[in-house]
Amino acid sequence: MLERDDLAYAAGVAFGAVILVVSGYADRSPDIVMRNDFAGFWAGSRTILDGATPYDAAALSATTTRYGTQHLTVYGYPGWIALALIPFALLPVQVGSAIWTFGGIVAAVLAVRLLLRATCPGVPAIQTLAGVTLLASQPGRLTVLLGQWGFVLLAATAAAVAWLSAGRAARAGGSASLFIAKPQLLVATAFGLTVAATARGHARRFLLAAVGIAAMATAASLIVVPGWPAAWRATVPGVLLPDPPQTTTTFTLFYGVLGRAGIVVAIGVIAVGALLGLFFRPRSDAWLAMWLALSPVAAVYAWSYDQLLLIVPLVIATGVALRRSRRLAVAATLGWALLLDVGATALAVVAAKRDSESYSAVIPLIAFALVAGLAWPERRFRSPGKPPPARPTGSS
């Protein structure tokens, strides 16, 4: 059974890779590699190696000019990221970029496979569709083109869920510690995982690993780049969070439609999503699916490539549905594959014409609604006489 699943997943990944290459998003030409977002990350870490701080605009500008990388107005990441990526900055940009991109893809492929084994065993169609979507989706393709964090964070999230479900709390916490790369994207995810670990009796090991590693990374960054938090606060929030909002978030979407009242509506939508999440038992997979799906909806700063993280809660919710109906699970997988592969691509075309990605923020909202619909029968406040569906024998 698992061998057939593995083959189905490999076929999906291979087909997704073909789509990625044919679409042109796998472009590794010097013009792309030296100007994409990874080149900006590289420049921040390279500035440290050259004896300066990336939070000094003049020093950062000198680095980007010297090495011909993406020009940055400010270095937008916290100090621990600048420190963590120093090994890549020891290499030429092209080499570091290749390791970053293909290493991230391999990590994501393996982690999603681990998650599929735990949640959706024995259904090759689900394995194939998930494999295709990993690389063929608009968020996946854009992550490759820009050298963004999507595959690394997807791998960290999928592995954290799979390991927590398997009782390997320390591994799960260690994987979750990577959330500090883009914490604004994963607030609800971190909450959901922490509560789930507590409910399953794994809080101590999970938090020791997650908080311990994050604390050590923070301490190291303060030693290597002293005073960076003050410099970051003085420059970055105003650049990354302008008024009005301009990113691909729920806030931007509703602001564009309703003006300032849209901010209040967005907060209300997020609050409703959190309330719905509380309808589920913390020990359940449905709980994890809901809170992980809420994270992209609640993010205060995100772009369309960050929607790659939606694959994890969608896979978990599909596994929840699979306990009730194989047909429903396959149909749901087809639905979210089309959402990320076709729907997100169509919205990207619209975004290019509008020079704004705000409409693409509907993707996380639709995904959250789908996850909630699939998980709803397992809510804790059901009518009497309706026990929760039993987990199939041998599943995690």
Q: What pLDDT shows up at residue 72? A: 83
Q: Which of 213, 384, 191, 185 is nearest to 303 (CA)?
A: 185
Burial class (CB in 10 A: 0-12, 13-18, 19+), 199: middle
pLDDT digits (tens, 9 = 90+) for 101-146: 999 999 999 999 999 999 999 999 999 999 999 999 999 999 999 9
Count other Cβ atoms within 10 Å, centred on residue 22.
Answer: 10
Tokens read off for 30 = 């010097």
Q: Tell me, what's the pLDDT at 389?
A: 55
For 188, other C-beta atoms within 10 Å of its C-beta total: 23
pLDDT for position 43: 96
Which strand (E) or helix (H) includes residue 321?
helix 311-322
Mean of the per-residue pLDDT values of the chain: 93
Q: Would you give the DSSP letter of residue 341? A: I
- Asked if residues 309 and 295 have their Cβ atoms less than 8 Å apart, the reply is yes
Q: pLDDT (tens digit, 0 to 9) for every residue of the chain, 396 residues total? A: 568 999 999 999 999 999 999 999 999 999 999 999 999 999 999 999 999 999 998 999 999 999 999 888 889 899 999 999 999 999 999 999 999 999 999 999 999 999 999 999 999 999 999 999 999 999 999 999 999 999 999 999 999 999 999 999 999 999 999 999 999 999 999 999 999 999 999 999 999 999 999 999 999 999 999 989 998 888 777 666 666 777 999 999 999 999 999 999 999 999 999 999 999 999 999 999 999 999 999 999 999 999 999 999 999 999 999 999 999 999 999 999 999 999 999 999 999 999 899 999 999 999 999 999 999 999 986 655 555 555 544 443
Host H or E run for residue 166: none
Structure confidence at residue 393 (pLDDT)? 42
pLDDT of residue 394: 41
